[in-house]
Amino acid sequence: MKKIAVIITRGGYNNLLQACEWIALAAESGVEVSAYFRDEAAGRMSQIKIQELTMSADYRGCEAAVRDLLRQEGKSDLSKLLRNAKESGNVKLSACQDSLRYFDVKPEDLIPELDEVQTAEAFWKEAVLDADQVMTF
């Protein structure tokens, strides 16, 4: 089985959605996926923040229209997308311990789809070193 490590750092909704979609595609293809949310992306993994449809600056002026499209297409719930990816294959989701501290997010406030909180070093040793491919978002 192939293994990929996915490192998600940017916290705009559009970036998180893209990462979730690639994670799901890999899982559905039988690829073992280890994903690591760090920096801004880790800050968005709280049960409250993940619900915000905050887009990157490039979407300025069309954010409302894009939000409507996301809702219509069933892509407005990142927790659900991650849950579906986990149900469709071998997916492990982690959040960066340091990044959570920077954004004052406590482990108990995280979405239940996350499997663990770990250091970058632990993710490196566990997922990156033996990955066939590393993707970054």
Q: Which pLDDT tens digit goes with each residue over 54-80?
A: 888 888 899 889 999 999 999 999 999
Q: Is there a contact between 24 and 87 (Cβ–Cβ < 8 Å)?
A: no
Q: Is there a contact between 97 and 119 (Cβ–Cβ < 8 Å)?
A: yes
CATH fold of the domain at 3-136: Hypothetical Protein Ychn; Chain: A, (3.40.1260)
DSSP-derived secondary structure for 74-136: T-S-HHHHHHHHHHHS-EEEEEEHHHHHHTT--GGGB-TT--EEE-HHHHIIIIITT-SEEEE
pLDDT digits (tens, 9 = 90+) for 105-126: 999 999 999 999 999 999 999 9
pLDDT digits (tens, 9 = 90+) for 11-69: 999 999 999 999 999 999 999 999 999 999 999 999 999 999 888 888 889 988 999 99
User: Where is 17: in which H helix or E strand?
Assistant: helix 13-28
Map out the domains of the chain as residue ranges: 3-136
Could you tell me the pTM of the whole model? 0.92
User: Where is 18: in which H helix or E strand?
Assistant: helix 13-28
